[in-house]
Structure 1
Amino acid sequence: MMSNSFDHENRDSWYFGAINRQEATDLLMNEKEGGVFLVRDSASCAGDYVLCVKEDSKVSHYIINKIQNNDGVKYRIGDRTFPDLPKILSFYKLHYLDTTPLIRPASKKVEKVIAKFDFTSKEKDDLCFKKGDILTIVFKDEEQWWTAKTSDGKTGLIPVPYVQKLEDSHSPVDNPRPGSGEPISSLGAQSEPGRRSQIQRKLPAHARVKQVRVPNAYDETALKLEIGDTILVTKTNINGQWEGILNGKTGYFPFTHVEFIEDDT
């Protein structure tokens, strides 16, 4: 077994962001030795984390609760409390969890995606790209926003619904996706990048709801969304809150909860 001399202060090496339990399990099961680990966001409780560790022939998932009180923020794992995440990792370099201490962070897999649409934004943290661009995922910050890098080294946030995974066995040149290489009537003026801040689409246009949303009861401007609903999108805003009409009511909703109906012209 290799020595556990990893840098517990190097967050980029061990924090994997918003990957889910199954992704973490699959990743760690591919590692040869026990004690390989990663830290991910908890899917069930916002603000909490999960320490995932390969132990023998299984992967254990230890919840880390974020506790906020008058003394500031602390982190609890089991019956122990620590001031921050690196201190937890430092402690478990020397102490066993179940069958092993922490040896090293899991290897980060290089993941590439291909853009399904153009994305332009005036936000300085966002990464603009064109349909068909190949991007490398740097970090999965949130469920709907990831940090990515272009082939020329530019880095920024991208909206996940605008891209799809690029399978290693598929070349976008050898296997063009349907519609690639030909103009799509619902995608507009490609010759004017930046002219609009979202997908270049003629509005109004219909979109299908793919994620349930129950708005705050006191927010009269927000639309309640059910999977399969069809919204008439009337306006796209750079802040990600789009405007539309659903069941006769006009209101706002997050663009990440819908996808345009492709045959809608």
Structure 2
Amino acid sequence: MAATFDPYDKSSWYFGPMSRQDATDLLLAEEGGVFLVRDSTTIHGDFVLCVKEDSKVSHYIINKIQQGEQTNYRIGDQMFDDLPNLLAFYKLHYLDTTPLIRPAPRRIEKILAKYDFEGRDADDLPFKKGEILTVVSKDEEQWWTAKNSFGRTGSIPVPYVQKIEDGHHSLNDGNRSMSGGSNPVSQHQEAVNKRTNIQRKLPAYARVKQARVPNAYDKTALKLEVGDIIKVTKMNINGQWEGELNGKVGHFPFTHVEFVDSENNDGVDES
């Protein structure tokens, strides 16, 4: 079968953060040559080309090689300028038992909002608790792109939503599961606390695990670089925490940091 995809249409073949098992489960039901590209779960910045070959799914690591201002992508002993050129090459050449035929189909995934999300950046998608959203893409581990019932798309924080299993959740089911007489604000704070594993005494220090460049018009947002140590001064219920970084005070998404444990604080004093 001839290849039927555009290697420059990244939205068709790039599935973002995805576990090896999820990729395998998705591709096992497909014919040979069906593929997807996901982020490597072990090396930040690298990718994995997942392909259905015969009765198995193969996972080929794609190393991102940075040399000065030049970026190349290596798979096996082959080197390419970018991912589209890599995919175009394997449209015509075999990997192990097949060339690339077409990207894997995207499953329509519905999610239920567990809490209100007001959004702070222009590219965020605000929503209310109980709303049903459709996943567009899983760009980052804690931030996805979703679409609401009005067709508007934007970024959403993953801890604020839950997956809707086929036939197991309706809007009412979701509301019942989040009710039970408890204050939704306290439930929300509980979820935030659960993510950080511990009720923190503030101020406390956290390490940036995911870079974020704020909207240029938001002068109170902090620019985050992976590895930065930020002094957390306030944990807001809406998920936008406040802190100090490089002498600047501002807000940032809690999903982009992790607290520095006192037993492994690399010299940072949490007291």
How many equivalent pairs are there? 226
- Structure 1 residues 7-61: Cα deviation after superposition (integer angstroms, max 9, x where no partner): 1111111000111111110000011x10100000111111110000000010000
Q: Distance in 1 between matches of 2:192 and 2:23?
A: 36
Out of 78, 81, 105, which is 1:80 matched to? 78
The aligned counterpart of 2:63 is 65
Paired residue type of 1:221: K
- 1:11 aligns to 2:10 (yes or no): yes
Change (3 A) 1:99 1:214: farther
Q: Contact (CA 8 Å) 1:205, 1:234: kept in 2 or not?
A: no
1:242–1:40 CA distance, 2 compared to 1 (3 A) = same
Counterpart-to-counterpart distance in 2, 1:10 and 1:108: 14
Q: Which residue of 2 aligns with 1:42?
A: 40
How far, CA to CA, are the matches of 2:191 and 2:136 in structure 1?
Answer: 33
- Matches of 2:191 and 2:54, distance apart in 1: 53
SS at match of 2:22: helix
Structure 2: which 5+ residue stretches go unaligned? 199-204, 209-226, 244-250, 259-271
Segments of 5+ residues of structure 1 without an aligned counterpart are 189-198, 223-232, 244-251, 259-265
Fraction of identical pairs, as percent: 53
Q: Would you say 1:90 and 2:78 are equivalent positions?
A: no
| Structure 2 CA distance for aligned equivalents of residues 136 and 13 of structure 1 | 17
Does residue 215 in structure 1 map to residue 233 in structure 2?
no
Give the deviation of 1:120 after TM superposition: 0.4
Name the CA shift for 1:182/1:76 in 2 (closer, same or farther; >3 Å): same
Aligned residue for 2:236? 236
State the secondary structure of the residue aligned to 1:89.
Answer: helix
TM-score (norm 1): 0.74
Shift of 1:152: 0.8
Alpha-carbon RMSD: 3.3
8 Å Cα contact 2:188/2:237 also seen in 1: no
Residue 147 of structure 1 and its aligned partner are, at CA, apart by 0.2
Cα deviation per residue 1:148-177 (whole Å; 9 max; x = unaligned)? 000110100000000000112124246354
Match of 1:126 in 2: 124
Contact 2:51–2:59 under 8 Å retained in 1: yes
Instruction: Give the C-alpha shift of residue 88 in structure 1.
Output: 0.5
- Which structure carries more helix by proportion? 2
Tell me the CA shift for residue 241 of structure 1.
3.7
Instruction: Describe the SS at the equivalent of 2:105.
Output: coil
Q: Report the Cα offset of residue 239 of structure 1.
A: 8.0
CA deviation after TM superposition for structure 1 residue 255, in Å: 2.6
Where do residues 241-256 of structure 1 align in structure 2 (5 Å cutoff)?
A: 241=241, 255-256=254-255
Given that 1:75 and 1:84 are in contact with CA atoms closer than 8 Å, whether structure 2 keeps it comes out as yes
Contact preservation (8 Å) 1:55, 1:100: yes
1:242 deviation in Å?
A: 5.0
SS at match of 2:194: strand
Separation in 2 of the partners of 1:169 and 1:83?
45
Change (3 A) 1:96 1:211: farther
